[in-house]
Chain A
Amino acid sequence: MNFTAIRAIYLFEMARTWRTLLQSIVSPVISTSLYFVVFGAAIGSRISEIQGVSYGTFIVPGLVMLSVLTQSISNASFGIYFPKFVGTIYEILSAPVSYLEIVIGYVGAAATKSILLGLIILGTAGLFVPLHIHHPFWMLAFLVLTAVTFSLLGFIIGIWADNFEKLQAIPLLVVTPLTFLGGSFYSVNMLPSGWRTITLFNPVVYLISGFRWSFYEIADVSLAVSVGLTLTFLAICLVTIWWIFKTGYRLKN
Chain B
Amino acid sequence: MSPIISVTHLSKTYGSGFTALKDVSLDIRRGEIFALLGPNGAGKTTLISIICGIANLSAGKVTVGGHDINADYRAARSLIGLVPQELHTDSFETVWATVSFSRGLFGKPKNPAHIEKVLKDLSLWDKKDNRIIELSGGMKRRVMIAKALSHEPQILFLDEPTAGVDVELRKGMWEVIGKLRDAGVTVILTTHYIEEAEQMADRIGVINKGEIILIEEKATLMRQLGRKQLTLQLQERLAAVPAVLEPYRLTLDGDGMRLTYNYDTQGERTGITALLGDLGNAGIRFKDLSTTQNSLEDIFVSLVRRGA
Contacts and interface: CB of A to CB of B under 8 A. Distances in A.
Interface of A: 2, 4-5, 7-9, 11-12, 15, 19, 86-88, 90-98, 248, 252-253
Nearest to A7: B104
Interface residues of B, number: 34
Nearest to A12: B101
6 contacts: A4-B109, A5-B107, A91-B82, A91-B102, A93-B52, A96-B106
B56 interface: yes
A11 B89 CA distance: 17
A91 B105 contact: yes
Q: Which 4 A-B pairs have the closest CB atoms?
A: A8-B104, A87-B88, A96-B74, A96-B77
Contact of A253 (B15, B77, B89, B109): B15
B101 A252 contact: no
Contact of B97 (A15, A98, A248): A15
Interface of B: 14-15, 52-56, 73-78, 80, 82, 84, 86, 88-93, 97, 101-109, 147
A96 B84 contact: no
Given A87-B86, A88-B88, A90-B88, A4 B108 contact: yes
A19 B147 CA distance: 22
Contact of B55 (A8, A86, A97, A252): A252
Contacts of B80: 94
Contacts of B54: 90, 93-94, 252
A248 B106 CA distance: 20
Nearest to A20: B92
Contacts of B77: 94-96
Contacts of A95: 77, 105-107
A8 B105 contact: yes
Contacts of A93: 52-54
A2 B86 contact: no
Nearest to A19: B92
B105 A97 contact: yes
Contacts of B75: 96
B90 A88 contact: yes
A14 to B, nearest CB: 12
Contact of A91 (B14, B15, B147): B147
Contacts of B84: 87, 90
Q: Which of A19, A88, A91 has most B Cβ within 10 Å?
A: A91
A86 B88 contact: yes
Given A4-B108, A5-B107, A88 B73 contact: no
Contacts of A252: 54-56
Contacts of A2: 74, 107
Contacts of A5: 104-107
Contact of B56 (A15, A92, A248): A248
A92 B102 CA distance: 9
Contacts of A86: 88-91
Contacts of A88: 88-90
A92 B55 contact: no
A225 B1 CA distance: 63
B52 A94 contact: yes
Nearest to B78: A96
A171 to B, nearest CB: 23
Q: Which of B77, B82, B86, B90 has most A Cβ within 10 Å?
A: B90
A9 B90 CA distance: 13
A253 B17 CA distance: 12
